[in-house]
A and B are shown apart, each in its own frame.
Chain A
Amino acid sequence: MSSAPEVHMLDFNDAAFSYDKHMPFIRGVSFSVDNGEFIGLLGANGSGKSTILKLAGGILKASAGEVKLWGKPIASYGNRDRAKLLSYLPQMLDTGIPFTVRELASMGLYPYDIMPGISVEDALEAAGLKEKSGAHISSLSGGEKRRAYIAMTLLQGAGLLLLDEPLANLDIKYQIELIKLLKNLREKRGISLIMALHDINTAMQFDRLIVIKEGRLLGSGRPESVLTKELLKEAFDVEVEIKREDSGGVYIKY
């Protein structure tokens, strides 16, 4: 007796993509994301992290293999239906836009005809920008600008967040607060996320890490099993020591 295939929130099945016909950029990538999972995407610059996130968001279409959202090819979703299920925040954010914090954050409501559960005030509060809701984006600091976009993403209320290096330019305080906020959202709303990142310490906070090199999957699994000296050498071309503390902490020495 055969059982029905398991339906994942997001499912990459042997996905490939190329910007140039003759040069495949992403090759044979397979992984899945389930409800409530936090996945860190690690890899050197140019390894394909952003491209994988764009494939996951349906911005790019896989040239071979499949990317499925809740069991259906991502391209089969209408734009607004897809926007209610997943939201993508690129690494490069336009900070010269003429909007105020509130105007930008409110755009997260665009896929909806009626207000979803979270209010603009809640989203601004969560992003630590309630006091600056009337300020123009161009007048904010680098970290505040990023948080204003994060407020928009929160308001969009999708179950799957695809965040491309959201911690870049953020002070350690806001890095910690953002991670806490996301964990809090997981508890309350069961969100899942894939986050491209560079910091190995932050990577330890995730349920699962996916390490890529030159568009291929190099390793995948729990942080403590994936982050080995050999894998980091292979992925980043660096010689480092992995130090594990009795308390369970892991850090890198070089």
Chain B
Amino acid sequence: MKLKLVLITFISAAVFLFALFIGPEPMSPFNMSGIEKEIIFSIRLPRVLVSLFMGMALGASGAVLQGILRNPLADPYILGISSGAALTAAFGIITGLSLFGIFTVPLLAFIGAVIAGIFVGAMGWKRGGFWPERLLLAGVGLGFLFSSLLMLILSISSDAKLKRAALWMFGDLSLADWSIIPFGFIFIAAGIAVSLSKAKALNALMLGDDLAHSLGFSPKRERFILFISVGLMTAASVSLGGMVGFIGLLIPHTGRFIAGSDSRALIPVSALGGGMLLCIADLIGKSVLSPVELPAGIITAVLGAPYFLYLLRRRDVLGA
């Protein structure tokens, strides 16, 4: 297993460098002009880093959520956190708020995500703990509510702002900027570290609360900590570059084929896989219709939707 992890880490590093230097206009790392250096450090590197961190957050969050919700079709967006972020971010874009300069939209998205997470958490809480089914249903229900409010805002906005908001909602990595990367990185790195430290508990939670208890865990406490870490990772990811769908659903299932279902391997493999997929999706999005850029979220959805349907046809994935 360790060998596989090392191998995947190397492949991720190669994909990262490929996305950095190839792009729509290939550049040689060994022979760069001043302008090329400027492009790499000011434009491409922050963008590839944002893709990597977002993808890692979504991949790891998906692996954790499918475990704590005990549902193979769960992904980080099913909890309504992203819909909350989309609502506040779109509000900021449409109204042209610029209270915090370049930070305004990411900050609004983060606040929206956190508020939505608190709402979902409060509704999923009963008798001193989160109940997986309640969390799931609360997430889906609140997601619908936020989405309909979002549609309301979009329906009364001007065309230019509408396009900008729509781009953001499908994952607009062109907003990537050095100034917000450290904030996103802190939440995502902390979230992945906490999830990894709770990987055994996550495995046990997948057997059911009574067995997790018998194996020496406090199911309510472990689920709470994992929910908070997933919530913050998702919020940070959405605020970095909008909503990118299907990574959180697709990657953990692919990760299971490669690394098995033990969360100690699945979480790092899903994080690396998510980072790789988003780097590649953004590269494709930038390249296919260059100079027009397709949002990375559209590319991941085009790749992810057929896989999602294939998943529904697989009996063993759904445990049926």
A→B interface (CB under 8 Å): 54, 57-59, 79-80, 82-84, 86-90, 92-100, 103-104, 107-108, 110-111, 136, 138-139, 149, 156
Please tell me if B262 contacts chain A, counting CB pairs below 8 Å.
Answer: yes
**Are A83 and B214 in touch, CB under 8 angstroms?**
yes
Residues on A with C-beta less than 8 A from B200 are 107, 110
Closest to A158 in B: B214
Instruction: Name the B residues within 8 Å of A100 (CB-CB).
Output: 260-261
Bound complex: CA A136 to CA B316 (Å): 9
Q: 1/0 per residue B215-238: CB within 8 Å of A? A: 111100000000000000000000
The contact string, 1 if C-beta is below 8 Å from chain A, for chain B 33-50, is 000000000000000000
Contact assessment for B215 and A96 in the assembled complex, using a CB-CB cutoff below 8 Å: no
Measured CB to CB, the nearest residue on chain A to B72 is: A98
Q: How many whole Å from B299's CB to the nearest CB in chain A?
A: 27
8 Å CB contacts to A: which residues of B159-212? 200, 203-204, 206-208, 210-211
A57 touches B213 (CB 8 A): yes
Contacts of B208 in A (CB 8 A): 90, 92-94
- From A92, A93, A99, A108, give the contact of B215 (CB < 8 A): A108
| A103-B262 in contact (CB<8A) | yes
Closest Cβ of chain A to B314, distance in Å, is: 11
Q: Take A79-B217, A156-B215 as given contacts and tell me if A90 and B261 are in contact as well, using a CB distance cutoff of 8 Å.
A: no
User: Please, how many angstroms separate the alpha-carbon atoms of A139 and B314 in the complex?
Assistant: 13
Known contacts A110-B200, A111-B216, A138-B319; A99 and B261 CB within 8 A of each other: yes
Known: A88-B210, A107-B203. A83 touches B319 (CB 8 A): no
B196 to A: closest C-beta gap in Å:
15
Using known A-B contacts A54-B210, A88-B210, A107-B203, determine if residue A82 contacts B216 with beta carbons closer than 8 Å: yes
What does DSSP make chain B's interface, helix, strand, loop or mixed?
loop
Range of interface residues on B (Cβ < 8 Å): 20 to 34
Name A164's closest neighbour in chain B (CB-CB).
Answer: B210
B320 at the interface (CB under 8 A from A): yes
Q: Does B286 contact A (CB under 8 A)?
A: no
Given known A-B contacts A100-B260, A103-B261, A57 and B214 have beta carbons under 8 A apart: yes
Give the residue of A90, A98, A99, A136 whose beta carbon is less than 8 angstroms from that of B211. Answer: A90
**C-alpha spacing A102/B63, complex, angstroms:** 20
Do the beta carbons of A83 and B261 come within 8 Å of each other? no
CB-contacts of B61-82 with A (<8 A): 70, 72
Tell which of A79, A90, A98, A111 touches B256, judged by Cβ atoms closer than 8 Å: A98
Beyond A59-B214, A99-B260, list 18 extra A-B contacts (CB 8 Å): A54-B210, A57-B210, A59-B210, A59-B213, A79-B213, A87-B214, A88-B210, A90-B210, A98-B72, A98-B206, A99-B203, A100-B260, A103-B261, A107-B204, A110-B203, A110-B204, A110-B217, A138-B316
